[in-house]
Amino acid sequence: MTETLTAQRGPPPADSDNATTDDLSKLLRRADATQERMEEMELLTTDASGLELLDWRDESRQAHAREAVENPDNTATTLDRAHLHRDVYESGGSRGEYLEEWNHDELQALCEDLARVTGDETYLRMFSADVTLAELGAD
């Protein structure tokens, strides 16, 4: 359950379902993460075919996000929080306690970016966002 980001020179073909490395860079900046940090967190792997980005459904990703959020040193990035929020949302758990502790605006902005880049409206529904993928300029 991964999203593949193909490392390319220039923009992808118009019919491509792959996000661009530019999209990845924008998400990394918004998530306060670097490519190196994502590799350390086992979110991102690179090989000859390009970049492979693990998404919120990956069990190791879920475990890392939960551990980072629950760590007393609070090492969680906004992306960790977004992925944990998505996991809790999908499992029907209570998200209120997390949302009270987190910067709601920052988290919602990142989730809107994730929705736009992935085409997954669930990131919008998690916040009952009053915006559509088309309005966000989703690919």
Task: Quickly list H helices, the chain.
Answer: 21-30, 35-40, 59-70, 78-91, 96-101, 104-118, 122-125, 133-136
Q: Is the pTM of this model over 0.75?
A: no
User: Which residue, among 47, 96, 25, 42, has the nearest Cα to 126 in the 3D structure?
Assistant: 96
Q: What is the mean pLDDT of the chain?
A: 75
Crossing angle for the helix pair 104-118 and 78-91, nearest 10 degrees? 80
**pLDDT given for residue 12 in this prediction:** 36
The domain ranges of the chain are 2-8+17-132
| Separation of CA 99 from chain center | 17
d(CA 69, CA 84): 8
Given the structure tokens 């994502």, which residue do they identify?
38
Max avg pLDDT among 5-14, 78-87, 120-129: 78-87
Nearest CA to 8 out of 24, 17, 20, 26 is that of: 20
pLDDT tens digits for range 88-98: 999 988 888 77
